[in-house]
Amino acid sequence: MVSSLNAASAYSMARPAIAPDQGSPSATVQRIGSAAEEFAQQMQQFDAAATGAMTGGTGTHHLVQTIAEAQLAMETVVTIRNKVVEAYQEILRMPV
């Protein structure tokens, strides 16, 4: 038989999973934010390399390498976005 003390203890242990602390952002939110910042830095590096190639300040090898890195970063972001949209659509299809 479950005593009221055991039930209260189980509830207090499960409470953070149900209602996490609203004061601090979760680790997932922080990781998403840092990934977005890294993506923005990658695009800025690409812009700088493209501008440098147009003005003659950057070599072709560096430009091609930067384009490949930017392409990989863009494909990753698009894939993540597609997964988020797919999950959202799946939630919308759930019966209430």
CB 20 within 8 A of CB 26: yes
Tokens linked to 53? 């190639």
pLDDT at res. 17: 60
pLDDT at res. 41: 92
Residue 35 burial (CB < 10 Å; 0-12/13-18/19+)? middle
For residue 67, give the nearest of 75, 77, 79 by alpha carbon. 75
CB 62 within 8 A of CB 49: yes
Question: What average pLDDT does range 1-27 have in this prediction?
Answer: 64
pTM: 0.63
